[in-house]
Amino acid sequence: MNSKLSIALCQLMPGPSKTENLARAGKMIDQACERSVDLIILPEVFNSPYQADLFPVYAEPYPGPSTDFLCRTARDKGVGIVGGSIIERSTEGRLYNSSFVFDKHGNLIGKHRKMHLFDVDMPGRITFKESDTLSPGNNITLFQYNGISIGLLICYDIRFPEVSRALALAGAELLIVPAAFNHTSGPLFWELVLRSRAVDQQVYVAAAAPATNKDASYHAWGNSLVVDPWGRIIARADDREQIVFAELDLSVNEAVRREIPLFKHRRTDLYRLEYQPISNMEEYTGQEDK
């Protein structure tokens, strides 16, 4: 089993032009490939503004302009690409927040539709409702790359530990999370949630976010980061456009699980709530037996 993986997180800043966004992604991928990397990760909705009312405008089918770009670039550069996410229009006309993964030959090896839609109302801070335009995906996604099992989630999915645990139990050694936390949720939860998932599941976590665009209606938090299975941040961006590089040693997962064997200690016989009402409350006197 291959235990090494070199990754690059491209924290680009999307604008209103899809053509320019793809060109910007291409330039950052070119820069990342100046170093020897195995896998490049783009942010959530990397090809358009993250704005619910605009999702139908930027939506495209698969195959389409953005996935063609990802396929061609992966093949031409000889590098795997996790294509962040785009707004996908299905053959039935539904819209999904979808991530497409291509290997170094340009073959599609993974696809994930965001399962949990970001519908929040925090008065005076942020209100956003993805479900106004998007449909939720219904599958947990695990794919293989370079002999490594990788779980793929999109943004809000990471807030639900059941998904990460299912992936870890299925053999995931790395969780990849294209995401676009904002300036409200970012300071509160971003680092906390990503480090928690790494520690809970004893795996690496790599999360790629857009850079902050102050001219956009939605201000992404940026701060793309990579966390090791001990919960230590080993690479991090700020809120500006940049590339984050990290060298992963997946054998660390095994060492962590050997030293702190959480998965062996799981009590699956107890992980359910069984309510047993007291049949006769008068049987309890509140006094110790004498």
- Phi first, then psi: give them for residue 226, nearest 5 degrees: -125, 130
Distance CA(82)–CA(51), nearest Å, equals 22
> Which are the contacts of 164, defined by CB distance < 8 A and separation ≥ 6?
151, 153, 158, 175, 197, 200, 201
Is residue 100 within 8 Å of residue 87, measured between CB atoms?
A: no
Q: Does residue 60 carry a catalytic annotation?
A: no
Among the options 10, 44, 71, 77, which is catalytic? 44
**Encoded tokens for 26:** 């291409």
Instruction: Count CB-CB contacts under 10 A for residue 58.
Output: 20
Among the options 114, 130, 173, 191, which is catalytic? 114
Q: Does residue 114 carry a catalytic annotation?
A: yes
Instruction: Count CB-CB contacts under 10 A for residue 129.
Output: 14
Among the options 71, 88, 130, 155, which is catalytic? 155
SS3 category, 196: helix
Q: Does residue 155 carry a catalytic annotation?
A: yes
Strands (DSSP E) found in the chain: 4-11, 39-41, 80-82, 86-89, 95-102, 108-113, 119-122, 126-129, 141-145, 148-152, 174-178, 204-208, 225-227, 233-236, 242-249
Residues serving a catalytic function are: 44, 114, 155
